[in-house]
Structure 1
Amino acid sequence: MLRKTYAAVDLECIAHNIRELKRAAGTQVMAVVKANAYGHGMKQVVAKAEQEGVSWFAVATADEAVELRETCDKHILLLSSAEDEETVNALTEAGISQCVYTIQQLKLLYRICEANGKQARIHMKIDTGMNRIGLRTDAELIALLEFLKKQSRIELEGVFTHFASADEADKCFTREQLERFKHALQIIRDYGFAPLCHASNSAATIEIPEAHFDLCRMGISMYGYAPSKEVKTGQLNLKPALSLISHITYVKTIEAGDSVSYGRKFIANQKEQIATVAIGYADGYMRALSGKAEAELGSYRIRNIGRICMDQSMFLITGTGAQIGDEVRLIGSNITAENLADLVGTISYEVLTNLSARVPRVYLHA
């Protein structure tokens, strides 16, 4: 690592959060590791989760699923659908549990299984109000169940839904979704199926025990963050696992009237010391943070000034005694991804997943 800008991921924090969430769930848990484990590193997070007894993992893309299968022999669920023959065939060959919610998807999967003498496992997605993907009517559900009853290649391994607003204080709509899901489950059971049922995301795992069913999905909370400020974590002690670290590459003194960076958005009122730090928006340190973010420099909090550039950012360091080579923490113990998210009107998920591939991940307690 020649450029000393990196994300330090403490895998013991991941392990700790899994233990906390298992305690809250009281069921099996599924680790959601899509988007490179929310920016933390998929394979490393999965390895640590396996050490903690996790045997279910969820991803969002077929490429993620096939990549994870190279190092993980546990249950892997693709949360989105596969629409083309090449992708479905690759997932079937890799033994990935596939998300299905249309009769066309089911028939394609069956045709591929028949042609290759394969078995497949599916999780049926019920749309209870998210209106993204999933079965929306009883008639759609029954059509799939009728098809499944007449064949032996495809196992209905699971059924699931996703809550649209479980991370809000008002749980009324979430409870409506829960009732719709229970209605679908009754139809499925009346047809003689007994799939694994899962509905709880991080928010529902923490706050809605009646939605836990057989398995709870650990998303943002596994990485140490509450899903929102409206979710009360109670006795859960979640620990953010990722720190974003860079270093000072240049120190200079500017005079009153001097400007800093593109657009001259910062103009000094007096003589100041400025540090250039080797991180920018191409690393995922968002340009929208310009002039708003702070960072940690030892015991000091230093303020970003001027516009964040593609590869570099400038900070005000007057009175700190900072020097070239000093470490700067952009995300750490006192400045979290949630803090940065608040500054630009987004969520911790986006801050974490924005960290680009050119920022190496360095692992602690692997």
Structure 2
Amino acid sequence: MAELRINSQAFFHNLKLLANHVGSKEKVAVVLKDNAYGHGLLEMALLCKEAGIASAFVKNEAEAIRIAPYFESVTALYGDVESKSPANVWVALHSLEQIRRIPKGRSVELKVDTGMNRNGIMEEELFVALEAIRAQGLILCGVMAHNGYGDELGSEFFSQQRRFEGVRARVEEYAREHGLPRPRFHALSSSGALRSRNIQDDLVRFGIAIYGYLCAHPLVVSEIGLRPVLSLWARRITTKSLPKGARIGYGGKSELEEEAKKVSTYDVGYGDGFYRLNEHHKLLTAQGERILPRVSMDCLSVVGEREEVCLMEDASELARLFDTIPYEVLTRFSPFLKRVVI
């Protein structure tokens, strides 16, 4: 049976590197949205608990409820939460309308748009939003932004950070004036944090970096020794001895150029989230054997006869082949693929 193997030691190694960079493990928050970037929500939550991580961020309430027992707080980045959700499930607020929908007494984090022009309230709405949160009887636990320029060269990264510093100052003043606890502040993701040397935020939301990747321009963030956590393994279905000229798979796009080759099929295809390699792609297994096009929905062919093959141990190679990023490669994997922590 095909499986995704989750390397726990690589994960702990990455966490240690990131904690050392930001100054302490207490400042590390993990982003486990979208099934933990394809790695498995529960599997990664349990590893985070073992590592002593207190805060997590997920896509929605459904994901948050599943892992709430393992963290002090889990923030749902999108959607609302119901009054019956566990108290440590927090919700990110993106608009004045959403504030009015959240049940009284819920813990919330206010998202402020500092220039990405995507989600969050506008800076000029900040006072109105703070007043609405207080009037609604919500508990403001955090104020957040998302600096969308952490991967890029140029000055926009720094201007967004300055804007968030202004937001922080205004919120802190509001909290003092109204006798409210100071909320936590955070705006940096993986690349943004790793390019920064003096991080003022209370925590950093580490996503792709905990899984072993960075997608930043090399002049922005240098390699720090992160290790990929996930690898994809497939089991052999059958093996055939095929003559020279034998054509394999849909359309016969793979044709053997040598005599008496052993060709095996394995139980992974594009239905599992692996890419549909065709005659224009060339990809080898981790053991160096060629994956033959075309990849089918539920299986693929490899020159060789191993009982199992590693189809991917570094998502960067597939990302380059399909002109995308490791995020997409990882999050494509089907939730029905077995995840095994090693």
TM-score computed with the length of structure 1 as normaliser: 0.84
Instruction: Tell me if 1:350 matches 2:331.
Output: no
SS at match of 2:18: helix
Deviations 1:333-352 (A, max 9, x none): xxx11111111111111111
Instruction: Tell me if 1:96 matches 2:89.
Output: yes
Structure 2: how far apart are the matches of 1:229 and 1:251? 43
Structure 1: how far apart are the matches of 2:90 and 2:119? 17
Kept after mapping to 1: 8 A contact 2:40/2:335: no
Question: Could you tell me which residue of structure 1 aligns to residue 231 of structure 2?
Answer: 243
Structure 2: how far apart are the matches of 1:229 and 1:265? 37
Q: Which amino acid aligns with 1:254?
A: L
SS at match of 1:180: helix
How far is 1:246 from its partner?
A: 1.3
For residues 130 and 351 of structure 1, do their structure 2 counterparts lie closer, same or farther at Cα, with a shift above 3 Å needed? Answer: same
Structure 2: how far apart are the matches of 1:235 and 1:292? 27
Question: Could you tell me which residue of structure 1 aligns to residue 271 of structure 2?
Answer: 282
Kept after mapping to 2: 8 A contact 1:11/1:48: yes
Deviations 1:81-123 (A, max 9, x none): 32xxxx43344x54311111322222222xx32xxxxx22111
How far is 1:361 from its partner?
A: 0.8
SS at match of 2:149: coil
SS at match of 2:285: strand
Structure 1: how far apart are the matches of 2:121 and 2:199? 19
For residues 289 and 157 of structure 1, do their structure 2 counterparts lie closer, same or farther at Cα, with a shift above 3 Å needed? Answer: farther
Question: Could you tell me which residue of structure 2 aligns to residue 216 of structure 1?
Answer: 204
Structure 1: how far apart are the matches of 2:143 and 2:335? 34
Deviations 1:257-290 (A, max 9, x none): 4322112322334434322122111111111466
Question: Could you tell me which residue of structure 1 aligns to residue 339 of structure 2?
Answer: 361
Q: Which amino acid aligns with 2:322?
A: V
Instruction: Tell me if 1:47 matches 2:46.
Output: yes
Q: Which amino acid aligns with 2:275?
A: M
- Of 284, 287, 298 in structure 2, the residue corresponding to residue 311 of structure 1 is 298
Instruction: Tell me if 1:107 matches 2:91.
Output: no
How far is 1:25 from its partner?
A: 1.2
Identity %: 28
Kept after mapping to 2: 8 A contact 1:288/1:344: no
- Of 10, 18, 35 in structure 1, the residue corresponding to residue 7 of structure 2 is 10
- Of 185, 188, 192 in structure 1, the residue corresponding to residue 168 of structure 2 is 185
For residues 182 and 295 of structure 1, do their structure 2 counterparts lie closer, same or farther at Cα, with a shift above 3 Å needed? Answer: same
Aligned residue pairs, count: 333
For residues 21 and 245 of structure 1, do their structure 2 counterparts lie closer, same or farther at Cα, with a shift above 3 Å needed? Answer: same
Q: Which amino acid aligns with 2:83?
A: N
Kept after mapping to 1: 8 A contact 2:53/2:71: no
The 5 Å alignment of 1:320-335 reads 322=305, 326-332=307-313
Structure 1: how far apart are the matches of 2:278 and 2:56? 33
How far is 1:7 from its partner?
A: 1.0
Kept after mapping to 1: 8 A contact 2:22/2:199: no
Instruction: Tell me if 1:120 matches 2:103.
Output: no
Structure 1: how far apart are the matches of 2:250 and 2:217? 34
SS at match of 2:297: coil
SS at match of 1:50: helix
RMSD over aligned CA atoms reads 2.2
Kept after mapping to 1: 8 A contact 2:87/2:107: no
How far is 1:232 from its partner?
A: 6.0
Kept after mapping to 2: 8 A contact 1:205/1:212: no
SS at match of 1:189: helix
Question: Could you tell me which residue of structure 2 aligns to residue 146 of structure 1?
Answer: 131
The answer for unaligned runs of 5 or more in structure 1 is 114-118
- Of 76, 79, 89 in structure 2, the residue corresponding to residue 78 of structure 1 is 76
Question: Could you tell me which residue of structure 1 aligns to residue 179 of structure 2?
Answer: none
Structure 2: how far apart are the matches of 1:137 and 1:234? 32
SS at match of 1:192: helix
